[in-house]
Amino acid sequence: MIFKRKFMLESRHRAVSFHDITEQVRKLVAESKLRDGIVVVYSHHTTCSVITQESAFDYSMTGLETLQQDLVNVMEKMIPTCTTEGMYLHPGEKALKFAEEHGEDNFGCHNTDAHLRSSIIGRNVTIVLSDGEMDLGEFGRVHFIDWDQTRGRKRTVDIMIIGE
């Protein structure tokens, strides 16, 4: 059997947004009444990621859990946040024109860092479902990350549970 649902999140402006979505996913697993299979948590947004990670319990001065801040710091070293025009090849002239034709502002197009980070981290996770419970390990949590700092916006989380 296949069970599908979606829910919405609100991301922050000028900061990477982390959302602990574990409890929302658990509620959907219970609603599905499936016992064994897989749970796929997915983002169709190409500037977002879905990960599993444990809670750090401590917070950085930015308000993120320390493990989340560590991930942001690592990504910042690998793929710096776009701060100046021309820092990355994307967006080029054609991409900017396409965005303008589709109601996007030019500033919002300068999120190449978010696209690259999402490409590396990934936009989905698959979690084993056993006896009606997600196997996240002892301390595991499911997190949705919006890497795009150009503006806050609504994001959709897609859940598909496949099993019996």
Instruction: Report whether 9 contacts 145 (CB < 8 A).
Output: no
Pairs from 24-27 (Cβ < 8 Å, separation ≥ 24): 24/157, 25/134, 25/142, 25/159, 26/134
**Count of residues in the chain:** 164
Rg (CA), the chain: 17
Supply the pLDDT for residue 92. Answer: 85
Supply the pLDDT for residue 109. Answer: 63
Dist. CA 33–CA 123, nearest whole Å: 25
Specify the pTM: 0.93
Fold type of domain 2-57+64-163: Jelly Rolls (2.60.120)
Supply the pLDDT for residue 96. Answer: 83
CA dihedral angle for residue 62, residue 65, residue 71, residue 76, rounded to 10 degrees: 0
pLDDT tens-digit readout, 99-115: 889 887 666 568 999 99
Q: Where are the domains of the chain?
A: 2-57+64-163
* Tens-level pLDDT at each residue, the chain (164 residues): 999 999 999 998 889 999 999 999 999 999 999 999 999 999 999 999 999 999 999 999 999 999 999 999 999 999 999 988 789 998 888 988 888 898 876 665 689 999 999 999 999 999 999 999 999 999 999 999 999 999 899 999 999 999 99
Three-class secondary structure of residue 121 per DSSP: helix
Supply the pLDDT for residue 106. Answer: 64
Supply the pLDDT for residue 103. Answer: 81
